[in-house]
A and B are shown apart, each in its own frame.
Chain A
Amino acid sequence: DVKVTQSSRYLVKRTGEKVFLECVQDMDHENMFWYRQDPGLGLRLIYFSYDVKMKEKGDIPEGYSVSREKKERFSLILESASTNQTSMYLCASSSRRVIRNEQFFGPGTRLTVL
């Protein structure tokens, strides 16, 4: 069974803290994505990566960075968390080897910044 896992389901952090969100997939997918989802705003792409050590900015990269040192792992970093980064964070992966490449999502991390 294909799987995308995220390090935490719920996370509470304080303003100014550095926050790491980890995502691991076991499908040997080349592409990995980080989204945030807020009520009324839909899914918004933060960053994506199409290969190890490669990254591309999405629609809302400000305040975030990413790291992809291994193919299966994609990390989202909040350098200095702020209250407006309270959100549901979703990781996804997809293959580049097929044209019909749907995305597989992890369970999500609900982050609260106090």
Chain B
Amino acid sequence: QKEVEQNSGPLSVPEGAIASLNCTYSDRGSQSFFWYRQYSGKSPELIMSIYSNGDKEDGRFTAQLNKASQYVSLLIRDSQPSDSATYLCAVNSAENTNAGKSTFGDGTTLTVKP
């Protein structure tokens, strides 16, 4: 079992719809959770971070964390074609927190169709 798993995709949604990206992790001691966006041929860039249970909203993006279920998700409202990218989920476990190491999922590729 992978330490961080994402729904494999690809995910396709129409413009204006809500895109839902999911991630599960195996280490119950994980403390920090990140979503990165990676455009084709580019490097990952951080778009959301979340550290406590519940929702965190930033513009059209909402991250949701449920530590009991070991689940973190990213919702993109009013999806735009410019949101088409691969989204990487990353988790810092308790052991790795001090080292600043993240475990990355393999990513989910999102396509938003006009």
Contacts and interface: CB of A to CB of B under 8 A. Distances in A.
A114 interface: no
Residues of B contacting A: mostly: loop
B42 A107 contact: yes
A60 interface: no
B84 interface: no
B42 A101 contact: no
A31 B100 contact: yes
B111 to A, nearest CB: 16
Question: Quick one: which of A31, A42, A45, A107 has the most chain B CB within 10 A?
Answer: A42
Nearest to B99: A50
A11 interface: no
28 contacts: A30-B100, A31-B99, A40-B106, A41-B106, A42-B106, A42-B107, A43-B44, A43-B88, A48-B99, A50-B100, A90-B44, A99-B32, A99-B97, A100-B32, A100-B51, A101-B32, A101-B92, A101-B100, A102-B90, A102-B102, A103-B34, A103-B46, A103-B100, A104-B46, A105-B43, A106-B43, A107-B43, A108-B43
